[in-house]
Chain A
């Protein structure tokens, strides 16, 4: 037992070191003379990292697949947009975005979390579409013609970039904490069996509401950060079904039950989408649909699971060749 704990501890340190290195690289990258286009790409990927990590807490760890995260993303975007237009400090506006999304998560979660598994998933499609239709018709937000953010002063891409990086780091940190905490264990318990979880003193409804709230807050802030950058938002974009789908696909493709999986999924999605959208506007979703089928059928662990298997295979063959050379 003791022997096993030493490499485990070392492994943990490797992880912390890897995350720190990633953060430092992302932090100094904009100063390394990269093109504005790459900065923009990194910015969008970082916003996706936030939503992807947030979704993985509910969809991966807790096993509640939601098709409705565009609601939080859109509410966050509109709240931040209106706050900034009203003269609020952007950071304060983002905070309010998070609060609004958190309140929405309670309003949605209270009725829908009585449903289980696929029924919950279907209900979230309904909520998301209903909210989108209402936002398309609401007059004080400009309805279908969208909403513009009028910010005075020059456009500073790096400010947006570091905001996104900061929130993404916060999201990953939160996720890493949840993964090793007692709260994370109760999420897993709810995922595996709600009745059994209740028997050992975990309140399933409370747990689900809490993680939903956490995920919604992060997603709402992400929507706000994106809205300030884009300066123009419209219901079919931020509240669109495609947004919900994107937020769901990234963590599943990366591996939704890990800390790193959703991050990898978000970067892959951000970059691949950008490359493919220019050439074939629809091709990337076709690709992701196919990828989703493959992942469900063959590797539910996503990219991270696949990498893990690859690593195990490499280790096995290495040991074999080592044995062969000794023998």
Chain B
């Protein structure tokens, strides 16, 4: 291994981190506003992947454009799901097991709908650019990874802008900090929750479409990425976007560099063990929540 190899690894970790952040941000925002651990996130990632695949195969719409189109479609779907199901479980300042199990049931339904519609064979999106790469001196970057990284980071920037500059964004941040105080200042909590859930699912759909261009997928697609999303938001401190970005970077670096020391077969175990380690040993990321919990109970 010389220096160029390390640089290559770092660059690929960075590119991976971008898409990881876009993938987990939907979960972060839903958790922040509604205190719901959205296990169905995995189902919507999977649906996003098939959405983009169908658009590409049937209508010949470019997968990148397809991922962008997925956002509004999944936003509406998410709002519908909130109206149908999510608003019916009681909310509190702590995530409840009822909401966790509800979202898990929804994930099972989505996943197996996927099996019914698309069968269980692995699919992938192949475009002319799938196998090409770009060279910057000694650094080689696969074109798709770069092309997927750009919309991922742009969407995160856009979300940040919306959260900082708009009334909706201020309301969301207020609700994340304190639900009751937010209600007292006249924020329509129910409406905000619906919209936020829609945005979260919209991100899941778009991120699923982006991931589908990098990996092959089946209706079970979301599971590994769901666990990675957990790692990221737990590492980052559950309610912060910059934390999620940092968490994504940590996970991407650990995963990328683990290839040097671990056999490839064990690689998926890294995210899963890191999740347990992060939850148990680094409550630093979620220190606020732990403190709050003690006070609350």
Task: Report which of A129, A282, A297 forms a contact with B268, defined as CB distance below 8 A.
Answer: A129
Q: Are B108 and A296 in contact (CB under 8 A)?
A: no
Q: Binary interface profile of B, 98-122, with partner A (CB < 8 Å = 1, else 0)?
A: 1011101111111111011000100
> Of B89, B106, B263, which is within 8 A of A137 by CB?
B263
A194, B297: Cβ atoms under 8 Å?
yes
Chain B hits for A282, CB < 8 A: 112, 115-116, 120
B279 close to A129 (CB less than 8 A) = no
Indicate whether A126 sits within 8 Å of B272 (C-beta atoms), given known contacts A281-B115, A283-B116, A288-B108.
yes
- Residue A308 is within 8 A (CB to CB) of chain B in the complex: no
Interface band, chain A: 35 or more
- B223 part of interface (Cβ distance < 8 Å): yes
What's the Cα separation between A221 and B49 when bound, in Å? 40
Q: Tell me the minimal C-beta distance from A69 to chain B in angstroms.
A: 15
A64 to chain B, nearest CB (A): 9
How many Å from the CB of A74 to the closest CB on chain B?
A: 15
A116 touches B101 (CB 8 A): no
- Per-residue contact bits, chain B 234-273, to A (CB 8 Å; 1 contact, 0 not): 0000000000000000000000000000010110110011
Residues of A within 8 A of B89 (CB): 296-297
Smallest Cβ-Cβ distance to A282: which chain B residue: B115
**Which A residues are in CB contact (< 8 Å) with B116?**
280, 282-283, 286
A300 close to B (CB within 8 Å): yes
Q: Is the CB of A129 within 8 A of B227?
A: yes
Q: How many residues of B contact A (CB 8 A)?
A: 41
Are A290 and B97 also in contact (CB < 8 A) when A118-B37, A127-B276, A282-B116 are?
A: no
Among B85, B115, B223, B272, contact of A130 (Cβ-Cβ < 8 Å) = B272
A119, A129, A285: the one contacting B112 at CB < 8 Å is A285
Query: Total A-B residue pairs with C-beta atoms closer than 8 Å?
Result: 123
Asked if B203 lies at the interface with its beta carbon under 8 angstroms from chain A, I say: no
Q: Is the CB of B96 within 8 A of A118?
A: yes
For residue B50, which residues in chain A have a CB less than 8 angstroms away from its CB? none
**B-side interface residues toward A, CB under 8 Å?**
37, 85, 88-89, 94-98, 100-102, 104-113, 115-116, 120, 223, 227, 230, 263, 265-266, 268-269, 272-273, 275-276, 279-280, 293, 297
A-B contacts, 30 listed (Cβ < 8 Å): A63-B97, A65-B100, A115-B280, A121-B37, A122-B275, A123-B275, A123-B276, A123-B280, A125-B230, A125-B275, A126-B275, A129-B272, A130-B272, A130-B273, A134-B266, A194-B297, A195-B297, A241-B223, A252-B101, A286-B109, A286-B112, A289-B106, A289-B108, A289-B112, A292-B101, A293-B102, A296-B89, A296-B98, A297-B85, A297-B102
